[in-house]
Amino acid sequence: MELLDHGLMAVGRKSSVAAPKKYPDELRQRAVRLYRESDPKPVIRRLAEQLGVHHEALRNWIRQAEADAGERHARPTSEMAEENHRLRKEVAELRRANEILKAASAYFAAELCAM
């Protein structure tokens, strides 16, 4: 067994899941522009190969650009996704604070009963 970077052990096999890549924003914008300005529309897989990116990454960029432009309604816009992320973090923080307050009130209630 070999020890992987993140501390897990590999059991004699290689992972078939590729690690996520962070592509530069300029590349994303250029790729989407190339796809949208092409007529007829190129096959996403072929365009992705030409650009050296994974075809699913390109497909997701195109879908997100369509949502941001109001052309696709099944996916939230980037702004909505950012707002959702911020609100989820805020809800998690408020839940933690609520649990702390519940524990504190239970403690003080027990102290009052003990008097």
Specify the number of domains making up the chain: 2
Residues 39 and 56 reside in one and the same domain: yes
Which residue is listed with tokens 């092409």?
Answer: 38
Read off the CATH number of the domain in which 51 is found. 1.10.10.10
30 with 67, same domain: the answer is: yes
- 50 and 63 share one domain: yes
- Do 65 and 89 have their domain in common? no
- Local confidence pLDDT in tens for the 115 residues of the chain: 444 444 444 444 444 455 556 889 899 999 999 988 888 888 888 999 999 999 999 999 998 888 888 877 666 778 888 899 999 999 999 999 999 999 999 999 998 888 7
Do the Cβ atoms of 85 and 94 come closer than 8 Å? no
Domain extent for 103 = 77-115
Contact 21, 51 (CB under 8 A): no
Query: Is there a domain that residue 30 lies in?
Result: yes
Contact criterion met (CB below 8 Å) for 51 and 31 = yes
Report phi then psi at 109, rounded to 5.
-65, -40
Domain-embedded: residue 36:
yes
pLDDT for the residue numbered 41: 80
pTM above 0.75, yes or no: no
Asked if residue 86 and residue 62 are part of one domain, the reply reads no
Q: Is residue 13 part of a domain?
A: no
